Structure 1
Amino acid sequence: MEMITSAQNSKVKSANKLKKKRERDKTGLALIEGYHLIEEAYKSNLIIQQLYVVDADRLDDKLKDYAQEVFEINLKVAEVLSGTVTPQGFFAVIEKPEYEITSAKQVLLIDCIQDPGNLGTLIRTADAAGLDLIVLEKGTADPYQDKVLRASQGSVFHLPIVTKDLSEFIENFEGEVYGTALENAVDYHQVSSQDAFALLLGNEGDGVNPKLLEQTTQNLIIPIYGKAESLNVAIAGSIVMYHLKG
Structure 2
Amino acid sequence: MKHIESDSNASLKQWKKLHTRKEREKTGTFLLEGPHLIEEAISFGAKLQHVIIEENFNIKEEWLKEKFTLWSVPAKLMKQLSETEKPQGIIAVCEMMEQPEERIKRNGRYLLIDGVQDPGNLGTIIRTADSAGLDGVFLGEGTADLYNGKTVRSTQGSLFHLPIIKADLKEIITECKAEDVPVISTSLQEAVDMRELPEMNGFALIVGNEGQGVQEMFQEESSINVKIPIFGQAESLNVSVATGILLYELQRKR
The verdict on a shared fold, with TM-score over 0.5 as the criterion, is yes
Going from structure 1 to structure 2, the CA distance change for 1:8 and 1:217 (only over 3 Å counts) comes to same
- SS of the residue corresponding to residue 200 of structure 1 reads strand
> For the residues of structure 2 that align with 1:64 and 1:53, how far apart are their CA atoms?
12
2:204 to 195, 198, 205: 198
The question of 1:2 aligning with 2:20 is answered no
Paired residue for 1:214? 220
- Is this contact kept in 2: 1:192–1:244, CA < 8 A? no
Paired residue for 1:102? 103
Paired residue for 1:138? 141
TM-score (norm 1): 0.96
> For the residues of structure 2 that align with 1:243 and 1:55, how far apart are their CA atoms?
48
Report the AA paired with residue 103 of structure 2. T
Going from structure 1 to structure 2, the CA distance change for 1:193 and 1:124 (only over 3 Å counts) comes to farther
> For the residues of structure 2 that align with 1:222 and 1:57, how far apart are their CA atoms?
47
The Cα offsets for residues 60-106 of structure 1, whole Å up to 9 and x where unpaired, read as 01112214100011112101111012211110001111121434411
- SS of the residue corresponding to residue 147 of structure 1 reads helix
1:168 Cα deviation from its structure 2 partner = 1.2
- Is this contact kept in 2: 1:193–1:243, CA < 8 A? no
Paired residue for 2:235? 229
1:56 Cα deviation from its structure 2 partner = 5.0
TM-score (norm 2): 0.93
Report the AA paired with residue 146 of structure 1. G
Paired residue for 2:151? 148
- Is this contact kept in 2: 1:37–1:154, CA < 8 A? yes
1:121 Cα deviation from its structure 2 partner = 0.9
- Is this contact kept in 1: 2:99–2:163, CA < 8 A? yes
2:124 to 121, 124, 129: 121
Structure 1 residue runs of 4 or more that deviate by more than 2 Å after TM superposition: 101-104, 192-195
Going from structure 1 to structure 2, the CA distance change for 1:23 and 1:115 (only over 3 Å counts) comes to same
Report the AA paired with residue 3 of structure 1. H
For structure 1, the residue ranges without an aligned partner over 5 or more in a row are none
Report the AA paired with residue 120 of structure 2. G
> For the residues of structure 2 that align with 1:131 and 1:151, how far apart are their CA atoms?
18
The question of 1:30 aligning with 2:33 is answered no
> For the residues of structure 2 that align with 1:56 and 1:128, how far apart are their CA atoms?
35
1:140 Cα deviation from its structure 2 partner = 0.6
- Is this contact kept in 2: 1:106–1:198, CA < 8 A? yes
Give RMSD over aligned pairs.
1.3
- Is this contact kept in 1: 2:55–2:75, CA < 8 A? no
Paired residue for 2:62? 62
> For the residues of structure 1 that align with 2:204 and 2:103, how far apart are their CA atoms?
14
- Is this contact kept in 2: 1:193–1:245, CA < 8 A? no
- Is this contact kept in 2: 1:113–1:202, CA < 8 A? yes
> For the residues of structure 2 that align with 1:66 and 1:193, how far apart are their CA atoms?
45
- SS of the residue corresponding to residue 234 of structure 2 reads coil
> For the residues of structure 1 that align with 2:221 and 2:49, how far apart are their CA atoms?
42
